[in-house]
Each structure stands twice: as structure tokens, then as C-alpha cells.
Amino acid sequence: MIIRLEKLSKRFETRSRSVIALEGIDLEVASGELFVLLGPSGSGKSTLLNLIAGLERPFSGRILFDRQPVADPARKLHLPPRERNVAMVFQTYALYPHLSVFDNIAFPLKVAKEPDQEDRVKAAAGMLKIQDLLSARPAELSGGQRQRVAIARAVVRRPRVLLLDEPLSNLDAQLRTSTRLELKTLQEDLGLTTIYVTHDQQEAMSLGQRVAVLDKGRLIQVAPPEELYLHPADEFVASFIGSPPMNLVVASFVSGNKGPLLRLAGQDLPWPGPPRPDLAPGTDFRLGIRPEDLLLNPAEDENLLRLPGRILARENLGREVLLKLQAGSEEFLALTGSKDFQEGDRLTLGLDPAKLHFFPLSQAKY
């Protein structure tokens, strides 16, 4: 199932004003793809999922399933969820407490009077590894087991599209990791077109074949996880993707006697090579660098930018150490595998120009 959104917008009308929840969304999800909608609270990701499901009506634009419109306000077309053959899993599980696991999974089959109900329930339970829990009630299950029941109830219908709205957010960290891996394997086995909503960038990066980043109802960037990390489209994506977050500081290029200089943290650093043509001399911009790309006490290299600094704080993360650094007028985070650095130490920060990101100051920082 290919899902296409064309110029999709959604507004919510109140007595005093009109609130734009989504604006001009153009997007295509490939058949069989595990596609993630990522963004902070209020970005519009759940609203977008509800529009695809048919639970909400768009203000303008179109939604197409395999090139056939299922929602088009201009034509007054709006197919209800049942006719779209989508299944949705919510954050709250929404299980019936008085029914057994078997009956919870079988419920949509009974409503639709589908054949082979017992075989289909057992097959779905087997895929989710809950075949030994079919006689239990939801109150007897752990959070992870309840979530598996909810997913089994969704896939037993054999839907064309599976929609998941933050389905793992109620689980603890360890269970969330294991369930995430199982969910990815299940989706690959089923080959279902799947759209997964989350605010957790780590979850998005580990699950999605592609990730769409939303902010304030706008679609900012759509790309595979690695591309989002290495080549963020703007400052919002750069700051939202990655943990610990990218360092973002104000900088500018200025002219020097021997060539361009990068004015950073109150210092003028010789810039190797020609200046960037897209950044006018004297114009401030936001300079970004990932904590793991900051070099600490690097060997001499004429291509590196070098800043003297000192360690303000140190946090042991196990295999790595997170350092909070002061360099001139700016603070930086650095991630290193070395355990030799201690609070109060003075050191040199090395910045590789090839690892730097440049963003206009006009872009809003998240």
C-alpha cells in the first residue's frame, strides 16, 4: 500500500480563532515501509496519523491509498476508517479488561464476522510470542505483554496499513528497547506499510527506514536516519536529532591579513581554504558540531581549528565520558572514550571544518 499526502492541511476552529495544526504536508510512504513521524509535543504528528486513519477530516489537500483518493475536501470525499482498512495501535493499549487475551485479539474478527477466527488469533498471538497467554485477562499481564496483545489485535484483521501512535511510551527503558526490536522484526515479516509516531528521536532513528521530522505543523525534513543525523536540513533538526545534542554557537567569518578567519567563542581562528561563498563576511550564523566530533588535545594539524579550554563538569556514561567544556565565551559538550580527563583540566579543543554545520540565525532554535 502506497500512501500519498498532497498539500494536506488541518485547522481546528475555536470561538476566538482558527488554529493551524498542519500546513501543506507533501509526503509519500512506500509500500511495505516502516515510516516514522517524529516531533515534539504539538508538532502535529498524531493529528497527521488521525487524518490518515480517517479519524479526522483534513481542511484541504488529499490523501491517496494506492493512487485512489480516500480524503479530498474539494470533492467532499471522506472514507471512514473501516473502508480504508487500516489498523491503529494507541499508547493506552485500549484492551477490554473483562475479556481474555484470546477474545481481545478476536474482537475485531467477531464484529466483522470473519471466518477462521481461532486460527487467525493463534497465528497473530504466535507472531507476538503471547500464545501462552490467550486465557489470561489484561490485569494479569505486564505492560509489554499488554502492548503485544494490542498489536496482535491490530494485525489479526490483516489490514492494508498499520498505524502506531507512541505505542511504547508507557514501557520502562529496558522493555522499550526489546519490544522495539521485536516490533521491527514483526513489521519486516508482515511486510505491512507501517507509520509509527514518536517524540523519542532514539526510537525514531532505530526503527524507521525513513523519518519525517515535524515542527509546529510543518514538515521540516524527510530522510533515512543516518542522513538526518549527518546532514540536518536546519537548526531545529540538528538540535532535535542526537543525544547528547549538537553544540550550537554563534560564529562569523571575518577577513584577515593572511586569509579568512572564523570568529568563534571570542577568538579569530585561521580558516583553512577559501571562505564559504554562502556566508558573507561579518554576518553571524549558527555553527554546529556534534559532541563526538570535538577532538580533545589533538595532534598538530594545519586543517584543524584549535580552541583553548577547560573542563567544567564530567559525567561517566559507562563506555564513554560526557564533558562540559568552557572555551572562550562559549560552552561545549564533548563525548570521549578516554577516562583520563578530569574536572578542572585545561585542554585544547580541535574542530574539523569537514564536521561543522552552518545554519542561518533566522532559523528558530529548538
> Which of these ranges, 77-86, 251-260, 287-296, has the smallest mean pLDDT?
251-260
Task: Judge whether residue 363 has pLDDT over 60.
Answer: no
Residues 142 and 134: beta-carbon distance below 8 Å: no
160 C-beta neighbours (distance < 10 Å), count:
16
Domain with CATH 2.40.50.140 in the chain: 247-360
Architecture of the CATH domain 247-360: Beta Barrel (2.40)
- Say what percent of the chain tops pLDDT 70: 99
- Say what percent of the chain tops pLDDT 90: 75
Question: Any alpha helices (H) in the chain, and if so which ranges?
Answer: 45-53, 81-84, 101-112, 117-127, 143-155, 173-190, 201-207, 225-230, 235-240
Predicted confidence (pLDDT) per residue in 244-290, tens digit: 999 999 999 998 888 899 999 999 999 988 777 788 888 899 999 99
Task: Judge whether residue 350 has pLDDT over 50.
Answer: yes
Residues 101 and 130: beta-carbon distance below 8 Å: yes
Between the alpha carbon of residue 275 and those of residues 254, 266, 270, 279, the distances in Å are: 9, 19, 11, 8
Residues 351-359 have a mean pLDDT of 95
Phi-psi region for residue 191, left (φ > 0), alpha (ψ -120 to 50) or beta?
left
pLDDT score recorded for residue 69: 97
170 Cα distance to chain centroid: 17
Predicted confidence (pLDDT) per residue in 322-335, tens digit: 999 999 989 999 99
Residues 149-163 have a mean pLDDT of 92
Output Rg (C-alpha) for the chain, integer angstroms.
Answer: 25
179 C-beta neighbours (distance < 10 Å), count:
19
Task: Judge whether residue 48 has pLDDT over 90.
Answer: yes
pLDDT class of 365 with cuts at 50, 70, 90: very low
> Which of these ranges, 88-102, 116-130, 177-191, has the smallest mean pLDDT?
177-191
pLDDT score recorded for residue 130: 93
| Element at 161 (helix H, strand E) | strand 161-165
Instruction: For residue 255, count CB atoms less than 10 angstroms from its CB and return exposed for 0-12, middle for 13-18, buried for 19 or more.
Output: exposed
User: Which grid coordinates belong to 256?
Assistant: 584577515
Residues 334-357 have a mean pLDDT of 94
pTM of the model: 0.90
Task: Judge whether residue 135 has pLDDT over 80.
Answer: yes
pLDDT class of 93 with cuts at 50, 70, 90: confident
Distance, in Å, from the CA atom of 247 to the CA atom of 297, rounded to the nearest integer, reads 18
Residues 28-34 have a mean pLDDT of 97
Residues 108-135 have a mean pLDDT of 92
- 3-240 has which fold? Rossmann fold (3.40.50)
Residues 48 and 55: beta-carbon distance below 8 Å: no
pLDDT score recorded for residue 362: 64
Distance, in Å, from the CA atom of 57 to the CA atom of 78, rounded to the nearest integer, reads 7
Distance, in Å, from the CA atom of 225 to the CA atom of 234, rounded to the nearest integer, reads 15
Instruction: Please give the DSSP secondary-structure letter assigned to residue 294.
Output: -
Q: Cα torsion at 286, 291, 297, 298 (round to 10°)?
A: -80
Distance, in Å, from the CA atom of 179 to the CA atom of 173, rounded to the nearest integer, reads 10
Domain with CATH 3.40.50.300 in the chain: 3-240
pLDDT score recorded for residue 46: 94
Which residues, in sequence order, are CB contacts of 177 under 8 Å at separation 6+?
none
Q: Cα torsion at 261, 263, 266, 269 (round to 10°)?
A: -30
Name the more confident of 114 and 171.
114
Predicted confidence (pLDDT) per residue in 159-210, tens digit: 999 999 998 887 777 778 888 888 888 898 889 999 999 999 999 999 999 9
| DSSP characters over 188-233 | HHHT-EEEEEES-HHHHHHH-SEEEEEETTEEEEEE-HHHHHHS-S
